[in-house]
Amino acid sequence: MELTDIIREENLVYKKSPLLTDNVMHYCPGCSHGVVHALIASVIEEMGIQEKTVGVSPVGCSVLAYNYLDIDWAEAAHGRAPAVATGISRLHPDRYVFTYQGDGDLASIGTAEVMHACNRGENIVIVFINNAIYGMTGGQMAPTTLVGQVTSTTPRGRDVKLNGFPLKITELLAQLDGTGFVTRQAVHTPAAIRKTKNALKKAFENTKKEKGTSFVEVVGTCSSGWKMTPAEANRWMVENMFPKYPLGDIKDI
């Protein structure tokens, strides 16, 4: 059998969303960012809201997200994406506005912006990629870095006396009256990927229903930063990250 006999319309089980550009992604093998990008692209495509969506990319590994999703984008300063999204959403109330942020961006330098955007109940979606490390700058400690986890700025492991505790910001945000939907997901298995996609879809649908801020955390891997193979990183995430950051909906009203 020839390859062309297999590659046929009727055999198609999956295809790249047309919203994903053909640009080669700069992400490392095993990185979660690319999978989440693909999910957001599919959700926007399925909802038919490409012309109505504006993304806000952060400072972090996903700073170049705008190269991969064929929608309008604003690139924000480090941590300020929720404020930028507020400006866009307030002046374009009929648009779907989302931020896409890492743990350093959202839970460290941008803590105030995310807290207050959620507390105001900005009608936006916040996608939070928690890989427990600063991927882009070469693997330094993040607010979500686990106790004992080795990073380039915690070479002997995170010590709570020195560095405090891993920040469960998602649980904090769920406490705020402005958030309508707060969930924590992952993308390490096909089943998890499907769940994350459903969560993202619900989040974007909530924008239409004006249900306040929707917050989707995705616990992800950073095999380069963690200095593991992609398979090891997935295992390490399941064994170490999930107990601290349990998956599931935290708030859904």
Partner 1 sequence: MAEIKLMKGNEVIAEAAIRCGCDGYFGYPITPQSEVMETLMLREPWKTTGMVVLQAESEIAAINMVYGAASCGKKSMTSSSSPGISLKQEGLTYLAGAELPCLVVDVVRGGPGLGTIQPAQSDYFQATKGGGHGDYHLLVLAPASVQEMNDFVALGFDLAFKYRNPVMILADGVIGQMMEKVQLSEPVPRWSREDIERISGDWALTGRQKGRERHISTSLELDSYKQEIFNHKLQAKYRLMEANDTRHEELSCEDADYLFVAYGSSARICQKAMQLCREQGIKVGLLRPITLYPFPKIPTRTLAERVKGILTVEMSAGQMVEDVRLAVNGLTPVEHFGRYGGVIPTPEEIVEALKKQFIGA
Closest to partner 1 by CB, 7 or 91 = 91
Helix (H) or strand (E) holding 249: strand 248-252
Question: x/- binding map, residues 46-65, to ligand TPP, per CB under 6 A?
Answer: -------------xxxx---
Tokens linked to 89? 């959403």
How far apart CA 203 and CA 180 sit, in angstroms, is 9
Tell me the CB-side half-sphere exposure of residue 137, using CA atoms within 13 A: 15
Q: How many residues bind ligand TPP (CB under 6 A)?
A: 17
CA distances to 135, 166, 176, 224, 243 from 199, in Å: 24, 24, 19, 27, 20
91 contacts which partner out of Mg ion, partner 1, ligand TPP, none, CB within 5 to 8 A by kind?
A: partner 1
The Cβ-side half-sphere exposure at 193, using a 13 Å CA radius, reads 13
Q: What share of the chain is helix, strand, coil (3-state, %, to 5)?
A: 45, 20, 40
Interface with partner 1 in residues 86-115 (CB under 8 A): 86-92, 95, 112-113, 115
Nearest to 85 by CA among 71, 105, 99: 99
Q: Which of residues 62-91 bind partner 1 (CB under 8 A)?
A: 63-64, 66, 70-77, 80, 83-91
Q: Which is nearer to Mg ion, 145 or 213 (CB)?
A: 145
Choose the contact partner of 61 out of partner 1, Mg ion, ligand TPP, none; CB within 5 to 8 A by kind. Answer: ligand TPP
Tokens matching residue 175: 């406490």
The verdict on 249 binding partner 1 (CB under 8 A) reads: no
* Residue 247 binding target from partner 1, ligand TPP, Mg ion, none, CB below 5 to 8 Å by type: none
The pair of three-digit structure tokens given for residue 170, joined into one six-digit string: 């998602």
Q: Which of 82, 102, 139, 212 binds Mg ion (CB under 5 A)?
A: 102
Which residues bind to ligand TPP, rule: CB under 6 A?
59-62, 78, 102-105, 129, 131, 133-137, 142
